[in-house]
Each structure stands twice: as C-alpha cells, then as structure tokens.
C-alpha cells in the first residue's frame, strides 16, 4: 500500500490558466496534463466559466466543499452537483461550462485516457471492506479519519490523504471518516 499525504500533493495551474489544481496522483509518474493515462486531482472553482478541454479523456467530478455548481455539457441536460450528489461521469472533451450555485467550491476530478484506462468513482463511509478486483484502487479520505488495513500493513488516512492499493488486495476500513473509492482498470 502506498500513502500519498495531503501536504505532498502537487499544486499547478489549470490547463486553461484560470485557476489552480492540486494533483493527488498521476500515471505515468511525472506525466503532464497532456500526457497522463490517469489523473486524480482537486480544484477550487471561484467563478463561473468554461472547463478545460481534454481530448480523448473521460472524467468524473464530485463536489468536496461548497454548495455546488451546475454543469452545462454539450448534448446533455444541465446537471446540478452538490456534496450529496453521486460522482458524475462525463467526457472531458465535450465543451462544458460551470455556474456556481452559491460561492466557491472544491471538486474532485478523476480522469482517464480513453482506450488506455477506465475508471469508477464511488463514495464510501467507514467501517467498510474494499473487495479485491483487477483494478488499481485509490482511497481518498474526504472527512474524518480512516484506518486502512490491507493484510500486510495498516495506515491511518487523515483528511485528503490517499492510499493506493495494488490490484487484487482486500482492505478493511475503520474509523470515523468518509471519502471516495477510485478504481482504475487498464485496457489492453
């Protein structure tokens, strides 16, 4: 199990230059916003506007903090996302604009390169068990604290810490937190 502490997440400008993103994890390591196969990041959105376009990328968005935002995605009905909403998947190459409903929000973005990886994002509350799959699994603690035991080691995740579990590994979660399970599966 690999642990990525919130204090070590990489900060960088948005692709469109209108804000800042916090990169939690990326593959391959050292990839840029134009060369990743998968990427997990957070962004603070302080104003209405267009999303960066990522050709050939699928994206799932979740609201971490704030009241929410309405997404207008080409060829789809408008979608209101709040902290209570399920993670919302959409193509990152579709023109998308956002309208904040009541002030600044922070969101979680999971992106995968089409044809190379697919992903699924789910919310989770502890206690819980993460069943083994063929996918690489990331656990992101959103609030509270999660103790993660994977049969070989035990780690404690604080807010916005992330654990990367190898494929095929079962993990037991205890504590008082909740967060996200992100599964990333390679397409050969």
Give the pLDDT confidence of 94-115 residue by residue, as tens digits: 999 999 999 999 999 999 999 9
Residue 32: partners with Cβ closer than 8 Å, 6 or more residues away: none
> CA 11 to CA 80: how far, in whole Å?
27
Of 138, 157, 61, 47, nearest in space to 100 by CA: 47
Q: How is residue 11 annotated by DSSP?
A: E
Asked if the peptide bond before residue 28 counts as cis, ω within 30 degrees of 0, the response is: yes
Tokens of 85: 């909403």
144 and 129 Cβ atoms separated by less than 8 Å: no
Q: What average pLDDT does the structure give for the chain?
A: 92
The pTM for the full model equals 0.93
Q: What is the DSSP string of 40-74?
A: EEEEEE-S-EEPPP-TTEEEEEEEEESS-EEEEET
Domains of the chain: 8-113 (2.60.120.10), 117-186 (2.60.120.10)
- Per-residue model confidence (pLDDT) at position 12: 78
The predicted structure's pLDDT at residue 113: 98
């Amino acid at each position: 199990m690999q642990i990525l502490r919130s204090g070590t997440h990489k900060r960088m400008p948005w692709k469109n230059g209108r804000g800042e993103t916090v990169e939690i994890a990326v593959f391959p390591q050292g990839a840029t916003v134009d060369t990743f196969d998968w990427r997990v990041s957070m962004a603070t959105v302080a104003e209405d506007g267009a999303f960066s376009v990522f050709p050939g990328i699928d994206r799932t968005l979740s609201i971490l903090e704030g009241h929410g935002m309405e997404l207008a995605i080409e060829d789809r009905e408008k979608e209101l996302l709040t902290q209570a909403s399920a993670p919302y998947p959409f193509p990152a190459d579709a023109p998308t604009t956002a309208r904040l409903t009541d002030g600044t929000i922070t969101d979680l973005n999971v992106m995968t390169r089409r044809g190379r990886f697919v992903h699924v994002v789910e919310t989770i509350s502890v206690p819980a068990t993460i069943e083994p799959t063929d996918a690489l699994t990331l656990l992101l603690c959103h609030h509270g604290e999660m103790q993660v035991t994977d049969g070989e080691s035990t780690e404690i995740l604080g807010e916005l810490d992330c654990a990367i579990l190898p494929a095929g590994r079962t993990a037991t979660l205890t504590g008082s937190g909740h967060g996200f399970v992100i599964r990333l599966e390679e397409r050969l």
